[in-house]
Amino acid sequence: MTPEREKDILGRLAEGVLNYDEEMVRQAAQEALDEGMDANKAVFEGLVEGMKKAGDLYEQQEYFVPELLMCADALYAGLEILRPHMQSAKGDGGVKGQVVMGVVQGDVHDIGKNLVKIMFEASGFEVHDLGKDVPLEKFVEEQLRTDSEIVALSAMMTTTMVGMKDIIKAIKEKNPKAKIMIGGAPVTDEIADRFGADGYAKDASNALKEAINMIASLREL
């Protein structure tokens, strides 16, 4: 496949998601497979790229929740075609691991968390999504119930971010092996360290890399 052709297909995957055009996405996804493009590349440099742009438009208040949901539908239409051909980090196409995720209590900003969820599902993680405004006990209960390797906490406000510290402590007391990743606008690497988290993700792509590293380190134990 020529670089021009690759660019064209990736561009249409992204554009289809951004314009919630499921037909365009399906067609471009099928062409990607038929012409030998790596499915992971099609997902992350095509579909996810479009979803990131939709996220940017949402932040700028040009898109609203209904548009984002339609963009996500278009992304999933492409994923349906591409996912069976994706390689997981282990190379066997199986589930990479389980993640509990949610937005902490008092916070209802879930666009970032939803983007992370899409990235994780696209990559073969099993995601237990608790939604937004999630109380501390719910994170602890769900981690224990599912025995998920990773808990991902999100907060978009400084006032709600401080609650992460208690959640991390509570989960670690019940299950010291669980890995905890935090993210959101006010969160930094330094805060993650101070709160006792195992990782920090500044965006969806970083969250995915961080999660894959966490799973790898757990499986080496």
Of 85, 117, 132, which one is at a domain's C-terminal end? Answer: 85
Q: Are residues 205 and 126 in the same domain?
A: yes
pLDDT (tens digit per residue) in 169-215: 999 999 999 999 999 989 999 999 999 999 998 877 788 888 888 88
Instruction: Looking at the structure, tell me whether residues 153 and 106 fall in a common domain.
Output: yes
Question: How many angstroms separate the CA atoms of 3 and 81, rounded?
Answer: 22
Residue 88: predicted pLDDT? 57
What CA–CA distance (Å, rounded) separates 209 from 204? Answer: 9
Residues 57, 110 within the same domain: no
- What domain range includes position 75? 3-85
Q: For the chain, what is the domain count?
A: 2
CA-only gyration radius of the chain, Å? 18
pLDDT in tens, 91-147: 444 568 999 999 999 999 887 888 888 888 877 789 999 999 999 999 999 999 999
Tell me: do 109 and 145 sit in the same domain.
yes
Classify residue 62: in a domain, yes or no.
Answer: yes
> CATH code at 7?
1.10.1240.10
| Statement to judge: residues 155 and 69 lie in one domain | no
Assess contact for 11 and 32: CB atoms under 8 A: no
Q: Is residue 55 exposed (0-12), middle (13-18) or buried (19+ Cβ within 10 Å)?
A: buried
In a domain, 90, yes or no: no
Tell the burial category of 116 from Cβ atoms under 10 Å away from its Cβ (0-12, 13-18, 19+).
buried
Which H helix or E strand runs over 152? strand 150-154
CATH number where 169 lies: 3.40.50.280
What is the token pair recorded at 62?
């040009």
For the chain, percent helix, then strand, then coil, each to nearest 5? Answer: 60, 10, 30
Q: Look up tokens 């970083």; give the residue.
A: 206
CA dihedral 133, 119, 127, 112 (to 10 degrees): 0
Q: Kindly state whether residues 71 and 144 are assigned to the same domain.
A: no
Find all residues with CB under 8 Å of 141, minimum gap 6, and list them.
none
More confident residue, 182 or 64: 182
Choosing from 51, 85, 119, the residue where a domain stops is 85
Same domain as 79, residue 103: no
Shared domain check, 110 and 183: yes
- Sole residue written with tokens 């249409």: 12
Quick one: pLDDT at residue 221?
54
